[in-house]
Amino acid sequence: MAEIITPWRSVAAAFALNGVLLGCWASRVPAVASGFGLGEAALGLLLLMMGMGALVSFPIAGKLADRFGAVRVTRWIAAVYLVSIALVGLAPVVPALGLALFLFGMCHGAMDVAMNSWAAEVERHMGRSVMSSFHAMWSLGAGLGAAGGFAAASLAAPVSLHFVLTALLAALLFGPFLRIDWTSRVATGGAGDPVFAFPRGALVFVGLIALGAGLGEGAAVDWSAVFLADVLGAAEAHATLGYAVFSVTMVAMRLCVDRLITRHGPRRVALASGLLAASGYLTCALASSLAVALAGFVLMGLGYAAVIPLAFSRAAADPEIPAGQAIASVATLGYGAMLLGPPVIGFVADISSLRVSFVLVGLFALLIAALSPVLGRVRPAPQAA
């Protein structure tokens, strides 16, 4: 069994598990809202609690990963994450649902930091770029979770039953892969080390790259259908194609990115990524037909696929900050932009237009290209075993 469960497969299983549970939740949001009689404002508040849980968890998870080892912390959080999705499904009243979603968000965000730190260790062990392939497994997992939600909804399965069964099946499917014998390096820090680490030095620019990517991905998630429907007048069914095209392109690209990084280096890949993403938003902003806009979303998927994996790999190799804290600080900016960026885009669109908002998001994509030199390979600082 040990020969079959390689380090890559083990980390890939962690990413897939994380994606499956988030896709499971996302697919049943309408059912949850309907079941509790939630309006848009109440649902938005609950989703904000989930997002805040994730943001709070990032620095804590980074500190724990450095102190106890990324693989151990990933396993701990995965277990609680499986419980949290069941608690969301079993919540009897709205306040309990809010608490469960806060815990669910914390587990999702904390596992994201820990498993990316573990992924960086395996990447160094394998001696080649593999981070993007892990993120591709996350995207595939999210797709499987969403497909399971579609099946559950089609069968009129209660959310509680769906979420509990998903947790059990995910534990049975991915659990054995997470038990691989792997020892993470740990960092010994002083008692005065801050719990909340913020980017410093070159990591400030890495964080800005992650911010640009998070803003672009968040805008695609929350505004693609609105743009196609309201700006271009697409039918409701056709309006869903924007994010679908973006997601499929992103998964396919992430399966190829590692080879591109190995051949051309992270700086050149980041430069091309930023230019592709910017051209995608500019194409959409200027589009007058659905076909042209969809081409823009393809360019976005090609552009953003590599950026977050590159940023996390660079953070984990930082010579000044331990890997867990470095990834957490970069994740805070990246996912913070993904969470808070879409409301700002809406505000800008309200006082101007959604086309103008897309142009501004494209400018942040150009920031990725401009700062791409900071993603050049560095030698990580030695850590205590």
Residue type, 270: A
Q: What is the pLDDT of residues 276-296, one digit of tens each?
A: 999 999 999 999 999 999 999
How many domains does the structure of the chain reveal?
2
Residue type, 114: A
pLDDT band at 320 (very low <50, low <70, confident <90, very high): confident
Q: What is the pLDDT of residues 32-66, one digit of tens each?
A: 888 999 876 777 788 788 888 888 888 888 888 88
pLDDT of residue 245: 84
DSSP secondary structure letter of residue 230:
I
| 53: CATH | 1.20.1250.20
Whether 40 and 157 map to the same domain: the answer is: yes
Whether 144 and 278 map to the same domain: the answer is: no
Query: Which residue's structure tokens are 């968890």?
Result: 57
pLDDT of residue 4: 41
Number of residues written out for the chain: 385
Write down which residue in 144, 179, 214 finishes a domain. 179
Mean per-residue pLDDT, 340-344: 77
Whether 76 and 41 map to the same domain: the answer is: yes
Write down which residue in 124, 144, 179 finishes a domain. 179
In a domain, 194, yes or no: no
In a domain, 362, yes or no: yes
| In contact, 357 and 348? CB cutoff 8 Å | yes
Whether 337 and 222 map to the same domain: the answer is: yes
pLDDT band at 24 (very low <50, low <70, confident <90, very high): confident
Whether 266 and 364 map to the same domain: the answer is: yes
Q: What is the pLDDT of residues 345-359, one digit of tens each?
A: 888 888 888 899 999
190: three-class secondary structure by DSSP: coil
Whether 100 and 212 map to the same domain: the answer is: no
Alpha helical stretches, state H, 1-93: 7-27, 29-36, 40-68, 70-90
Sign of CA dihedral 120, 379, 274, 329: positive
Whether 163 and 100 map to the same domain: the answer is: yes
In a domain, 41, yes or no: yes
Could you list the residue range(s) of the whole structural domain that residue 308 is in? Answer: 203-375
In a domain, 188, yes or no: no
In a domain, 191, yes or no: no
pLDDT of residue 342: 75
pLDDT of residue 40: 63
pLDDT of residue 190: 45
Whether 162 and 209 map to the same domain: the answer is: no
Alpha helical stretches, state H, the chain: 7-27, 29-36, 40-68, 70-90, 94-126, 131-154, 159-174, 203-226, 236-239, 241-264, 266-286, 290-304, 307-316, 323-351, 354-370
| In contact, 256 and 129? CB cutoff 8 Å | no
Q: What is the pLDDT of residues 137-190, one digit of tens each?
A: 988 888 788 788 888 888 889 999 999 999 999 999 999 888 876 665 665 554
pLDDT band at 253 (very low <50, low <70, confident <90, very high): very high
Query: Which residue's structure tokens are 């009897």?
Result: 92
Residue type, 384: A
pLDDT band at 381 (very low <50, low <70, confident <90, very high): very low
Whether 171 and 39 map to the same domain: the answer is: yes
Nearest 5°: CA angle at 340, between 276 and 146?
Answer: 70
In a domain, 95, yes or no: yes
Whether 242 and 174 map to the same domain: the answer is: no
DSSP secondary structure letter of residue 373:
G
In a domain, 192, yes or no: no
Say whether pLDDT at 5 is over 70.
no
Report the alpha-carbon distance of residue 211 to residue 337 in Å, rounded: 6
**Structure tokens of 215?**
């803003």
Whether 14 and 161 map to the same domain: the answer is: yes
Whole-number Cα distances in Å, 234 to 223, 224, 239, 241, 249 = 14, 11, 6, 10, 21
In a domain, 1, yes or no: no
**Structure tokens of 364?**
């942040």
pLDDT of residue 340: 75
Could you tell me which residue, 273 or 146, shows the higher pLDDT?
A: 273
Could you tell me which residue, 94 or 1, shows the higher pLDDT?
A: 94
**Mean pLDDT of the chain, nearest integer:** 85
φ/ψ bin of 383: left (φ > 0), alpha (ψ from -120 to 50), beta (otherwise):
beta
Write down which residue in 121, 145, 179 finishes a domain. 179
Q: What is the pLDDT of residues 192-219, one digit of tens each?
A: 455 455 667 778 999 999 999 989 988 8
Whether 251 and 303 map to the same domain: the answer is: yes
Mean per-residue pLDDT, 118-129: 83
pLDDT of residue 236: 65
Could you tell me which residue, 7 or 80, shows the higher pLDDT?
A: 80
| In contact, 53 and 173? CB cutoff 8 Å | no
pLDDT band at 382 (very low <50, low <70, confident <90, very high): very low
